[in-house]
Amino acid sequence: GAAELGPYRHYMQKEIFEQPRAVGDTLQDIQSITPELFGDGAYDVFKTIDRVLILACGTSYYAGMTARYWIESVAKIPVNVEIASEYRYRDSVPDPRTLVVTISQSGETADTLAALKHAQSQGMEHTLTICNVGTSAMVRECKLSYLTRAGVEIGVASTKAFTTQLTGLFLLTLALAQVKGRINETQEHDYLKALRHLPVAITAVLALEPQIMAWADRFASKENALFLGRGMHYPIAMEGALKLKEISYIHAEAYPAGELKHGPLALVTDQMPVVTIAPRDELLEKLKSNMQEVRARGGELYVFADADTRITASPGMHVIRMPENYGKLSPILHTIPLQLLAYHAACARGTDVDKPRNLAKSVTVE
């Protein structure tokens, strides 16, 4: 009821603003990385496996897509990420030395549970879940688990569950890297420090809400939007597009910016807002030329740029500056403004934000 919502208009908005707390709780008071954070026997499992298969649906799938970049670059273990409803019906080649990771807010999604069982039936016994509900079927079925502490999520569009999943997946990355001898104590210490700073960093991004609301008003009259990202921010672009379509009913799709020229550039006109995630990373210069391709066709760019990118506003190029560059954890921070953009665009269009049409919070039937 209204009392629970406090100063917020919807559960989704409340849950977006709960993220500093949710991410902080998910980190508990972890003083050092150990495989046992994922349960008894995790060390032996992590020692044995030489590849990772991530299975999930919806927003949880995009958390998995992001984790792939982390695990491959930090722990140096090859990763596959599959949509659960595809994997369960596909003739894949099983490898018993695989760590099967399911990601699920509810722990009850029928396709994800069936995908897990399919993997098990193929002889893949090393299973781990990143899940928000400790009593769920997913946690019971998996040998290892890490519980996110998002708390109950009511808005159908997932927000705090996603950022806490990413937090858990980064911890998993570090634990795998440790067991495989791919990081030293100093690196571990630095990553832990960055993780612990997340609640403060997220709070600073949430303060951008008024600027994002002004953008959202302009999106409200549009029927299409494109989201661009590169590297580990490509899955974040996909999550941003999913949020926008779920709750505002604006058609949105995400593209890795380098792929623009192979199709979506044909759609770009002044009626097409193009949201761009612009972190300061090795791909920045390439991203800037992708942005020029959009500008040259009259597309309107809405750029979330890290403080030190030297991307400045000009006609047709709107810029909101992110407070700090966050290195490997940057995808977590860049998620926040996209959630706010979708939320305020939906409010401006007057949709039922917490209960979008045709969608369910948890899909427990196929």
User: What positions carry a catalytic annotation?
Assistant: 361
What is the Cα–Cα distance from 172 to 71, expressed in whole angstroms? 8
For residue 363, the minimal CB distance to ligand G6P (Å) is 5
Contacts 24+ apart (CB under 8 A), 293-297: 293/260, 293/261, 293/265, 294/260, 294/265, 294/268, 297/265, 297/268, 297/269
Nearer to ligand G6P, 156 or 177 (CB): 156
Distance spanning both ends of the chain, measured CA to CA = 31
**Angle CA(42)–CA(63)–CA(13) in degrees, nearest 5?**
125
Shortest reach from residue 290's CB to ligand G6P, in Å: 28
State the DSSP H helix or E strand holding residue 4, giving kind and residue range, or none if neither. Answer: helix 2-5
Q: Closer CB to ligand G6P, residue 37 or residue 363?
A: 363
**Residue with Cβ nearer ligand G6P (208 or 241):** 241
Nearest of 340, 359, 266 to residue 302 by alpha carbon: 340
Taking CB atoms, the residue at the shortest distance from ligand G6P is: 58
Between 351 and 362, CB nearer to ligand G6P: 362
**Nearer Cβ to ligand G6P (108/259):** 108
- The Cα 233–Cα 256 span in angstroms is 9
Min separation Cβ 82 and ligand G6P, Å: 14
What's the min distance (Å) between Cβ of 297 and ligand G6P?
33
d(C-alpha 22, C-alpha 17), whole Å: 9
In 3D space, the residue among 353, 339, 161 whose CA is nearest the CA of residue 240 turns out to be: 339
Beta carbon nearer to ligand G6P, 158 or 330: 158
Query: CB-wise, 75 or 238, nearer to ligand G6P?
Result: 238
Edge-first strand listing for the sheet containing 127-131: 79-83, 51-56, 98-104, 127-131, 144-147
The three-class DSSP label of residue 289 is helix
User: In a 10 Å sphere around its CB, with 0-12 CB exposed, 13-18 middle and 19+ buried, how is residue 104 labelled?
Assistant: buried
Q: Which of 275, 264, 203, 212 is nearest to 242 (CA)?
A: 275
Min dist CB 359 to ligand G6P, Å, is: 5
Residue nearer to ligand G6P on the CB measure, 246 or 306: 246
Q: Which residue, among 168, 194, 166, has the nearest Cα to 326 in the 3D structure?
A: 194
What minimum distance in Å lies between the beta carbon of 63 and ligand G6P?
8
Look up residue 32 and give its two tokens: 């050092």
- Residues forming a β-bridge with 102: 55, 129
Q: Closest separation between CB of residue 158 and ligand G6P, Å? A: 4
Least Å distance between CB 300 and ligand G6P? 28
Q: Return residues touching ligand G6P (CB under 6 A).
A: 57-60, 104-106, 109, 112, 156-158, 359, 361-363
Q: Where are the extended beta strands (E) located within 13-125?
A: 51-56, 79-83, 98-104
